[in-house]
Amino acid sequence: MRSLKETYFVSERAVNIKDLKAATSKVSLVVFAFKPDKRTLVLYNPAGFYQAWQEVKAGKTKVLDEEKFVLGFIDVRAISGCNQWTVQFVAAQKGYGPLVYDLAMSVIHPDFLAAHTPVSNTAKPMWNYMFTKSKGKYDIEPRKIEGGKGGRIATKCAPHAKTWLNRNDNVEDAKKKQLQVKQALDFKFRIKSPKNFSGLVRNHEAFQKLMVDEHGLSPKDFKNALDYGSARYFDTRYVG
């Protein structure tokens, strides 16, 4: 019988949805729908979660180490009457950023995804990347936001009024990225061919069953651990 670590192995290289369908990959995805107009996606490594949980259980720490299991996290909210959702919070390990955005666009499809105010310096390249790639063969459809102009707020469908700096950002670098992303923020984006993420969800369901049936973790506590862990993952990078 394989160990939990072997069963839930995940490659550390840059990934896409095809990588996650590999037989050795048990990366998991949970989609929380806390409200009709809100979706929170957590992409995580079950083996890392199990390790962090064991450390808490053994009394080595009081809080789950989210760095061990969170691969990506994104929170999106719907804007009524705009056929559009905006990114409220997002953070991901290196190599997982594009995949996290693709999964979010797949979840909300056929609606569009747009930036929200404020846009962090870290997130600017991602929006510029989508805008640049959408003009080529990338599987993304861009559409101009009605009323959008230079990243300034004009209507309720164009809420991205400004950008902000992380505490460690270089000011000059931030100004450069702002010029690059200025046009991209006037657009919303829709994935043309939604990704089939059902396998990732099944991985989550199987791992949750394992933790509940064999390790005594209640479904509620497991849900809270993933929710709070992803929130801390964001906070340690962009808050304070």
The pLDDT assigned to 177 comes to 57
Alpha carbons 48 and 172: distance in angstroms, whole number: 37
Q: How far is CA 210 from the centre of its chain?
A: 24
For residue 2, pLDDT over 60 is answered with no
The pLDDT assigned to 153 comes to 46
Cβ contact 212:32 at 8 Å: no
Q: Which two tokens stand for residue 157?
A: 């469908």
Residues 6+ apart with CB under 8 A from 157: 79, 81, 82, 84, 145, 146, 147, 148
Q: How many CB atoms lie within 10 A of CB 197?
A: 20
Helices 46-57 and 198-215 cross at an angle (nearest 10°) of: 20
Which amino acid does the sequence have at 181?
A: V
Mean pLDDT for 8-27 is 48
Which has the higher per-residue pLDDT, 211 or 148?
Answer: 211
For residue 123, give its domain range.
4-238
The pLDDT assigned to 168 comes to 56
The pLDDT assigned to 17 comes to 52
Mean pLDDT across the chain, nearest whole number? 79
User: pLDDT-based confidence at 228, cuts 50/70/90?
Assistant: very high
The pLDDT assigned to 94 comes to 87
The pLDDT assigned to 184 comes to 80
For residue 150, pLDDT over 60 is answered with no
Tally of domains in the chain: 1
Residue 99 Cα distances to 35, 136, 157, 195, 217, angstroms: 23, 18, 25, 10, 29
pLDDT in tens, 33-65: 988 999 999 999 999 999 999 999 999 999 999
Q: pTM of the prediction? A: 0.80
Helices 124-134 and 171-181 cross at an angle (nearest 10°) of: 30
